[in-house]
Structure 1
Amino acid sequence: MVEISEVVVDPVLVQVVAQFPPRADAIITLVASDDYLPGAQTLLYSVQKNLRKNVPYPPELVVLVTPEVSPETRRALWPALCTRITEVSVIGLPQGGINKSIGTNQNSTPFDNDCPGLTKLHAFSLVVYDTIVFLEPDCLVLDDLYPLIQKGKVYTESEALVAAAPDLFPPDKFNSGVMVIRPNSETFDNMMAQKSLLTNYANNDTGFLNAYYSEWFTQMAPLARLPFTYNAQRALYDMTYPQGHFNYWDIAVAPDLKVLHYSGYPKPWEDSKPANGGSAKKARTGDTLTDLWRQWHQKSHNYCVRYHKEREKEAVWRASAETRQKQLEQQQQHLPKQQNPKQVHKLVSKRFKELRQEGHDTKDAMAMARAEHGLSDEQLEPASVGAQVASMFGVMM
């Protein structure tokens, strides 16, 4: 079982990066509806917890959202968990490429919470980034993803798709839940032109991308085929772990597990939605992988609560400081231009005590009190007799 510590991800970096142009690399997910907020929250937290710390220019954490995603969901993710929110349009599947029960429109099947169509293809168009690691929001990261970013620096011959992990059925196809991408606008435009022409065996983005990159298994470089542990689908655990009779997962997957993909339904955070119209079943209980996700989700929730409380506290402090500054400016208008040092010292001491009562530590309270009165440390300390004599002769003490 993976242990999870309570270390809070540095919020300063998260706030600063969003104010600057995109970095060279990015780790990206897609949130197509509010239903996927728990998954995206847990994914992003797990990415940050496992991301390498000593990288000079760490990748951005970017969330693609569709217009259907509410402002509340966007605020829940940024800036606490990601550096950027980017809205993208929905790219539907070609008409007839999905179950008719979902419905169709003039050009493509409409958006559905469980079927975002080909919307993730927008990741291939984000040419502001050199290398992208794309993960679906139902993934859980358990190891550093930087080796995947490095693949984008080494393997530059591929047109947009750099690497992906094998699917379960058939294994000579890849699953699009985890991909390494070098964005290319020409490739994206060609994808849009081809989306109605290629045979989509799975009626989803994985099926389309396998049709587009049909030579992934046979002719692309070995580097393009990631180990299964970078996209370990829960279905394999289900098939090889009935009542614990098989140890395949424990022996072949768990020791080097990088990314756990909760593909299929129900998701760890929701009720199942059976296609046969039967009553929904609650998310699975007593399941080791589901329990693991829930541990991470609880940690992400705790972090977000702390993060927002800290931001609220900072906002209150800033508002208080602004109010205090206005009061000081009004007071200074009625004070002599040159105040008696003893009077200034009394004002600073009074303000210091007020700040201490508000909960600030000694050092911060003194620094804030001095700053509010426009004084430096040297101005507060009375000069010694020796210092006064030395200053008369221009000697530095």
Structure 2
Amino acid sequence: MIRSRPARGRHAYVTLVTGDGYAIGAEALVRSLAMSGTEADIAVLHTAGVSGEWLERLARLGARLCEVDLLETSDAFNRAHARDALHAAAPFTKGTKPPLHTPLDNFAKLRLWQLDYEAVVFIDADALVLRNCDRLFAYPEFCAAPNVYESVADFHRLNSGVFTARPSEATFEVMMARLDVPGVFWRRTDQTFLQEFFPGWHGLPVIYNVLQYVWFNMPALWNWETIRILHYQYEKPWQADHPRAAELAPLIALWRGVAEGRPLPDLGALPGPA
């Protein structure tokens, strides 16, 4: 169920916040969307775990607040996808993630199929929009960029940090019927589920979801002139104790400038990877 005021338009950028830790990122994302010149709604799906202070801050920036419940999943599903159980079965070995929410929270992202829009673009709260992306509303369901940050061999896997969708209660009901079945285990939560649910997913150009580790793992692919969405996967730019802070310093500085309300710099003038 979604509790919110009515939509203002037919299209929306959507993000998910399940606690104050990610609300910090969502505030910067909303600021960056506003700076992109979009005329679409900016909708924030949020659970009861977000404080009123942060909700007010997001609302003041023009975000449509949409309160959602976590999905009604079985006890067995919840045990399999609890943080300790999931990370023991499928540990993160490429980077570290702060404990800002639980893996189960990720599945609340699927609530966007219950929204009252014709087309949406989902963007994770740990991302920045650097250039207008409104053309994505004309893209079909389901489009996502590949999960590329180490090798081009990863082009066969999608990253669910950015994707296009067409909200539909019927689609949501089919998703719920396939999500929680006996013995199921979604290794990377919503990302693994969406790849299986949309096996013929359309590939977005990587410029719509450039993962921050490309900066040091694949520097030849980094081009400030073309990046439209920068996604801070793994460590977050607002972390006080950031194990990759030295390597990612220019990207962190860019995020902090947006978070503090400063305009985007001339991206073409920014230095590239060393």
TM range (shorter): 0.7 to 0.9
- Give the equivalent residue in structure 2 for 1:231: 209
- Give the equivalent residue in structure 2 for 1:257: 227
Give yes or no for the alignment of 1:163 onto 2:125: no
- Give the equivalent residue in structure 1 for 2:110: 121
Change (3 A) 1:183 1:284: same
Give yes or no for the alignment of 1:29 onto 2:53: no
Distance in 2 separating the partners of 1:101 and 1:132: 32
Distance in 1 separating the partners of 2:166 and 2:178: 19
Contact 1:51 1:146 (C-alpha < 8 Å) held by counterparts: no
Give yes or no for the alignment of 1:135 onto 2:123: yes
Contact 1:42 1:300 (C-alpha < 8 Å) held by counterparts: no
Distance in 2 separating the partners of 1:203 and 1:98: 12
Q: After TM superposition, give the deviation of residue 199 of structure 1 in Å.
A: 5.4
Q: After TM superposition, give the deviation of residue 129 of structure 1 in Å.
A: 0.5
- Give the equivalent residue in structure 2 for 1:299: 261
Contact 2:11 2:137 (C-alpha < 8 Å) held by counterparts: yes
**3-state secondary structure, aligned to 1:38:** helix
**3-state secondary structure, aligned to 2:156:** coil
- Give the equivalent residue in structure 1 for 2:239: 270
**3-state secondary structure, aligned to 2:28:** helix
Distance in 1 separating the partners of 2:194 and 2:162: 12
Amino acid of the structure 1 residue aligned with 2:143: A
Where do residues 213-232 of structure 1 align in structure 2 (5 Å cutoff)?
213-216=198-201, 224-232=202-210
Q: After TM superposition, give the deviation of residue 283 of structure 1 in Å.
A: 6.7
Contact 1:268 1:283 (C-alpha < 8 Å) held by counterparts: no
| Structure 1: tracts of 5 or more residues without a match | 1-17, 53-57, 104-110, 156-160, 217-223, 242-246, 273-280, 302-397
Alpha-carbon RMSD: 2.7
Change (3 A) 1:112 1:140: closer
Q: After TM superposition, give the deviation of residue 112 of structure 1 in Å.
A: 6.4
Q: Could you report, residue by residue, the CA deviation over 1:166-200 in whole angstroms, capped at 9, with x for unpaired residues?
A: 11273212111111111111111111111123955
- Which of 14, 28, 36 aligns to 1:42? It is 28
Change (3 A) 1:145 1:96: same
Where do residues 1-397 of structure 1 align in structure 2 (5 Å cutoff)?
21-52=7-38, 58-78=39-59, 80-91=60-71, 94-100=78-84, 113-115=101-103, 116-126=105-115, 128-151=116-139, 155=140, 161-168=141-148, 170-197=154-181, 200=185, 202-216=187-201, 224-241=202-219, 247-250=220-223, 254-265=224-235, 267-271=236-240, 281=242, 284-285=245-246, 287-299=249-261
Change (3 A) 1:271 1:235: same
Distance in 1 separating the partners of 2:196 and 2:138: 26
Distance in 2 separating the partners of 1:170 and 1:248: 14
Distance in 2 separating the partners of 1:202 and 1:171: 18
Amino acid of the structure 2 residue aligned with 1:284: A
- Give the equivalent residue in structure 2 for 1:373: none
Q: Could you report, residue by residue, the CA deviation over 1:7-26 in whole angstroms, capped at 9, with x for unpaired residues?
A: xxxxxxxxxxx976531111
Q: After TM superposition, give the deviation of residue 130 of structure 1 in Å.
A: 0.4
Q: Could you report, residue by residue, the CA deviation over 1:284-307 in whole angstroms, capped at 9, with x for unpaired residues?
A: 146111111111112269xxxxxx
TM-score, normalisation: structure 2:
0.78
Distance in 2 separating the partners of 1:21 and 1:140: 23
Contact 2:69 2:108 (C-alpha < 8 Å) held by counterparts: yes
Distance in 2 separating the partners of 1:65 and 1:100: 23
Q: Could you report, residue by residue, the CA deviation over 1:85-118 in whole angstroms, capped at 9, with x for unpaired residues?
A: 1100113664313543589xxxxxxx96253230
**3-state secondary structure, aligned to 1:68:** coil
Q: Percent identity?
A: 27
The list of structure 1 runs, each at least 4 consecutive aligned residues, that deviate by more than 6 angstroms after superposition, is none
Distance in 1 separating the partners of 2:185 and 2:162: 19
Q: Could you report, residue by residue, the CA deviation over 1:233-259 in whole angstroms, capped at 9, with x for unpaired residues?
A: 012223134xxxxx3324xxx321000
| Structure 2: tracts of 5 or more residues without a match | 88-98, 264-274
Greater helix proportion: 1
Greater strand proportion: 2
Distance in 1 separating the partners of 2:237 and 2:259: 10
TM-score, normalisation: structure 1:
0.55
Contact 2:83 2:102 (C-alpha < 8 Å) held by counterparts: no
Considering Cα pairs closer than 8 Å and 6+ residues apart, tell me whether 1 or 2 has the greater RCO.
Answer: 2
Distance in 2 separating the partners of 1:20 and 1:87: 12
